[in-house]
């Protein structure tokens, strides 16, 4: 074998970079340039923001494993003198109905997420693909509803729940949280980017509009649907104001409502407060870790699509 043929064989065996890698590399060059200065500044800024976000979280978890004397001692220290302990968690778990509140939070968050996804996706598909009288006005009202503070609607919503006899019920907690105009807007913009030819091909095959929505549009929208569902779930889990107003029975309280009531009865106890906050936030961290791929994929997809 000659040197020329060997060189050509080596050239043929060299792997080619994928299109996605090439696009990402070109995008980084457009945003950061080719020099190391902007790159170092960007990564340095991201590192500083990461540290600023993680340090309070790490301090809360660290305080939750301290005794109250070590948590309130000055000067502050990451490592307590008396060592780490699980006493704060035992006190919090024994002080209230944590297990019941946890189940209530899961039930309410799941109900809100499922109903919000159904209502928002159908409304977004209607705005994206159908034509009817008053469509633009109705969509403008939907966009305007995003700017309405939810606190303004507390009194009329509570009166409505009283008239429907839904106070101190799961439905009374969940139903007012189902309407999410911002999710309708996000899904509508995503549906606008789906090619109409795919739906027209299904309609030619005899599929109804609902079948097209279920079998064509929704499978193509899995990344954005996953991201929207996660955001709705997190918002429903962290919601304090409405569950606090519409519930008075301890058996129906959610974690954000129940934990402060327990802690306030014993005064300012820093270690137990941090333990309670850690318990309340742990499920959200687990959800994010399990579905972070879908979140990143949805953001990347909508970003690359120019939406």
Q: Residue 223 domain-assigned?
A: yes
Predicted pLDDT at 10: 46
Q: Residue 60 domain-assigned?
A: no
pLDDT tens digits for range 76-95: 888 888 888 888 888 888 87
Per the structure, the complete domain to which residue 169 belongs is given by 116-304
Longest dimension (CA), the chain: 91
Confidence of residue 303 (pLDDT cuts 50, 70, 90): very low
Cα 129 versus chain centre, distance:
27
Q: Residue 84 domain-assigned?
A: no
Q: Residue 229 in contact with residue 114, Cβ under 8 Å?
A: no
CA distance 182 to 228: 10
Tell me what the pLDDT averaged over the chain comes to.
Answer: 82
Q: Residue 228 in contact with residue 183, Cβ under 8 Å?
A: yes
Confidence of residue 181 (pLDDT cuts 50, 70, 90): very high
- Residue 303: how many other CB atoms lie within 10 Å: 10
Domain count, the chain: 1
Q: Residue 228 domain-assigned?
A: yes
Q: Residue 249 in contact with residue 267, Cβ under 8 Å?
A: no
Q: Residue 232 domain-assigned?
A: yes
Return the CATH number at 228. 1.10.3720.10
Q: Residue 134 domain-assigned?
A: yes
Q: Residue 265 domain-assigned?
A: yes
- Judged against a pLDDT cut of 50, whether residue 306 lies above it is answered with no
Q: Residue 99 domain-assigned?
A: no
Length of the chain: 307
């Amino acid at each position: 074998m000659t040197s020329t043929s060997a060189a050509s064989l080596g050239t043929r065996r060299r792997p080619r970079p994928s299109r996605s890698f090439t696009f990402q590399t070109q995008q980084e060059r457009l945003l950061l340039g080719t020099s190391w200065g902007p790159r170092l500044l960007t990564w340095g800024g991201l590192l500083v923001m990461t540290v600023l976000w993680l340090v309070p979280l790490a301090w809360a978890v660290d305080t939750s494993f301290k005794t109250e004397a070590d948590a309130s001692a000055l000067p502050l220290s990451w490592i307590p003198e008396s060592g780490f302990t699980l006493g704060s968690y035992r006190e919090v778990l024994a002080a209230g109905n944590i297990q019941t509140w946890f189940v209530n939070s899961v039930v309410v968050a799941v109900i809100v997420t499922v109903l919000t996804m159904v209502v928002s996706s159908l409304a977004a598909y209607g705005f994206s693909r159908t034509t009817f009288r008053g469509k633009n006005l109705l969509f403008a009202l939907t966009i305007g509803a995003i700017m309405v503070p939810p606190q303004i609607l507390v009194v009329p919503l509570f009166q409505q729940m009283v008239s429907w006899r839904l106070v101190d019920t799961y439905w009374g907690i969940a139903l007012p949280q189902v309407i999410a105009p911002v999710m309708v807007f996000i899904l509508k913009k995503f549906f606008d980017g789906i090619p109409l030819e795919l739906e027209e091909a299904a309609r030619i095959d005899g599929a109804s509009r609902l079948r097209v929505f279920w079998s064509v549009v929704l499978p193509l929208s899995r990344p954005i649907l996953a991201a929207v569902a996660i955001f709705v779930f997190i918002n429903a889990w962290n919601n304090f104001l409405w569950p606090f107003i519409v519930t008075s029975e301890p058996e129906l309280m959610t974690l954000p409502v129940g934990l402060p009531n327990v802690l306030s009865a014993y005064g300012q106890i820093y270690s137990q407060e941090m333990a309670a906050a850690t318990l309340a936030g742990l499920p959200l961290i687990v959800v994010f870790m399990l579905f972070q791929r879908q979140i990143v994929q949805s953001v990347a997809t909508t970003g690359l699509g120019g939406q």
